[in-house]
């Protein structure tokens, strides 16, 4: 990743077809568009590749998560259990629908710890939302069992994991509803875009309406369409969808390339004693977008990052000190800094963060090094990178 590294003729062709019609909106203007419906084609391509009944493409991954929650009936005062390690958009989406993000510890999968999740379930809990960070997955069998036991919805935030699978099924298609991001730095990019996928026909119909101000899309006159319920403008443009369509067609080759580069680097650093790789649940296969491993201590991880920078090994992250992906630096959430009044339910519901202890998450995130796997590397560049990484890590652990 990301897919923009390999932009080429196929992306240009799809975009030019949109520009030739002059129709950038995904709905209406039937007579002008020459039969070209890029958003519809992208949805069909997603359905085919992920083997899911329904896909609704939207304007961003954040929009996708917000809409997934809405169509699943999550709203005011409901608690949504989610991990301490994610992108800020995950809790922003929860709060957008008036719900309360209930953050709990991760384990060595770098995703939700099932034991921590069950302890956090309360009468207000309505959904569990595992976030499949850095190309791999949560223990979905455990979470499906918990959702069945406590009558909860399972919402998969797979925004960073397109192309990964669990027990033969694509991530995002296993829960009640799943979400993807197609932003500029994702494996499949639209520039800006996202998708909601589901096998639930009612959820899909709600997503179709909700993403377009509640339009029911019945008939040929947009101005005469009904509004069965309130919605928002989460529409994707035809230009963004055109880029995504070309990229989605290339997903299998992207995953193949990522796996090749990932494997070369992993096999090299696996020879260094003291390295532990992130756990992948049984039956899971990563998207190979990131290689994640653990150093023995936080200090060793920080020194590894310094060594990588000195050697010109870019694209690696220690999220312990990151402002956007780990709870430790989320003061704007902990102190509820907003531009507008927040409901008493949400304000009261977030008070637990003032004294919450996430030592277990600190233990895993502090020691973790997450390395982006690029599509554009040559094999020689990958091997050179692996040699430098081994030199830095082995030097620290000697």
Beta 165-166 vs 54-58: how paired, if at all? unpaired
For 161, phi then psi, to 5°, come to -140, 30
Catalytic: 186?
yes
Task: Please write the tens of the pLDDT for every residue from 83-119.
Answer: 999 999 999 999 999 999 999 999 999 999 999 999 9
pTM: 0.96
Whole-number Å distance between alpha carbons of 44 and 25: 18
Whole-number Å distance between alpha carbons of 73 and 50: 24
Task: Please write the tens of the pLDDT for every residue from 258-273.
Answer: 999 999 999 999 999 9
Three-state DSSP class for 71? helix
Name 154's bridge partners.
Answer: 128
Three-state DSSP class for 364? helix
Q: CA angle, 268 as apex, 262 and 270 as ends, to 5°? A: 95
From the list 94, 71, 25, the residue with the least C-alpha distance to 346 is 94
Task: Please write the tens of the pLDDT for every residue from 146-186.
Answer: 999 999 999 999 999 999 999 999 999 999 999 999 999 99
Q: Annotate 175-228 with DSSP letters as a single string.
A: SSEEEEE-BTTSSS--BS-EEEEES-HHHHHHHHHHTBTT----SS-GGG---S
- Whether domain 253-397 has CATH 3.90.1150.10: the reply is yes
Cβ count near 198 (within 10 Å): 26
Where exactly does CATH 3.90.1150.10 map onto the chain?
253-397
Beta 194-198 vs 177-181: how paired, if at all? antiparallel
One pLDDT digit (tens) per residue for the chain, 398 residues: 889 999 999 999 999 999 999 999 999 999 999 999 999 999 999 999 999 999 999 999 999 999 999 999 999 999 999 999 999 999 999 999 999 999 999 999 999 999 999 999 999 999 999 999 999 999 999 999 999 999 999 999 999 999 999 999 999 999 999 999 999 999 999 999 999 999 999 999 999 999 999 999 999 899 999 999 999 999 999 999 999 999 999 999 999 999 999 999 999 999 999 999 999 999 999 999 999 999 999 999 999 999 999 999 999 999 999 999 999 999 999 999 999 999 999 999 999 999 999 999 999 999 999 999 999 999 999 999 999 999 999 999 98
Report residue 343 as tokens. Answer: 């409901």
Beta 153-157 vs 125-128: how paired, if at all? parallel
Three-state DSSP class for 326? strand
Whole-number Å distance between alpha carbons of 136 and 171: 9
Residue in 186, 303, 334, 337 annotated catalytic: 186
Task: Please write the tens of the pLDDT for every residue from 46-64.
Answer: 999 999 999 999 999 999 9
Where exactly does CATH 3.40.640.10 map onto the chain?
3-250
Three-state DSSP class for 157? strand
Q: CA angle, 109 as apex, 105 and 111 as ends, to 5°? A: 45
Options 3.40.718.10, 3.30.428.10, 3.40.640.10, 3.50.50.60; CATH for 3-250 is 3.40.640.10
């Amino acid at each position: 990743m990301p897919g923009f590294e390999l932009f080429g003729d196929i992306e240009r062709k799809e975009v030019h077809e949109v520009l030739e019609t002059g129709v950038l909106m995904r709905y209406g203007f039937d007579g002008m568009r020459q039969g070209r419906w890029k958003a519809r084609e992208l949805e069909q391509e997603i359905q085919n590749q992920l083997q899911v009944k329904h896909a609704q493409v939207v304007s961003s991954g954040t929009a996708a998560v917000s809409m997934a929650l809405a169509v699943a009936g999550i709203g005011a005062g409901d608690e949504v259990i989610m991990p301490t390690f994610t992108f800020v958009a995950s809790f922003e989406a929860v709060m957008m629908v008036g719900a309360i993000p209930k953050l709990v510890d991760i384990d060595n999968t770098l995703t939700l710890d099932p034991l921590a999740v069950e302890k956090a379930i309360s009468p207000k809990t309505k959904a569990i939302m595992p976030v499949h960070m850095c190309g791999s997955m949560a223990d979905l069998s455990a979470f499906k069992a918990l959702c069945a036991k406590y009558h909860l919805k399972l919402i998969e935030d797979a925004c960073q994991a397109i192309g990964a699978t669990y027990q033969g099924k694509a991530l995002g298609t296993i829960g009640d509803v799943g979400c993807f991001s197609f932003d500029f730095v994702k494996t499949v990019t639209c520039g800006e875009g996202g998708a909601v996928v589901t096998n639930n026909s009612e959820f899909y119909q709600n997503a179709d309406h909700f993403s377009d101000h509640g339009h029911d899309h019945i008939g040929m006159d947009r101005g005469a369409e009904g509004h069965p319920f309130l919605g928002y403008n989460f529409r994707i443009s035809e230009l963004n969808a055109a880029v995504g369509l070309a990229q989605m067609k290339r997903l299998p080759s992207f995953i193949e390339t990522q796996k090749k580069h990932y494997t070369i680097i992993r096999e090299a650093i696996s020879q260094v004693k003291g390295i532990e790789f992130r756990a992948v649940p049984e039956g899971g296969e990563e998207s190979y977008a990131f290689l994640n491993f653990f150093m023995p201590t936080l200090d060793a991880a920080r020194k590894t990052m310094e060594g990588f920078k000195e050697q010109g090994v870019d694209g690696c992250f220690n999220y312990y000190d990151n402002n956007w992906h780990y709870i430790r630096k989320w003061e704007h959430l902990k102190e509820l800094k907003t531009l507008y009044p927040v409901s008493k339910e949400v304000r009261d519901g977030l008070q637990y963060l003032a004294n919450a202890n996430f030592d277990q998450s600190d233990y895993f995130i502090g020691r973790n090094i997450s390395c982006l796997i690029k599509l554009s590397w040559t094999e020689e560049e990958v091997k050179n990178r692996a040699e430098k990484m081994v030199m830095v890590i082995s030097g620290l652990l000697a």
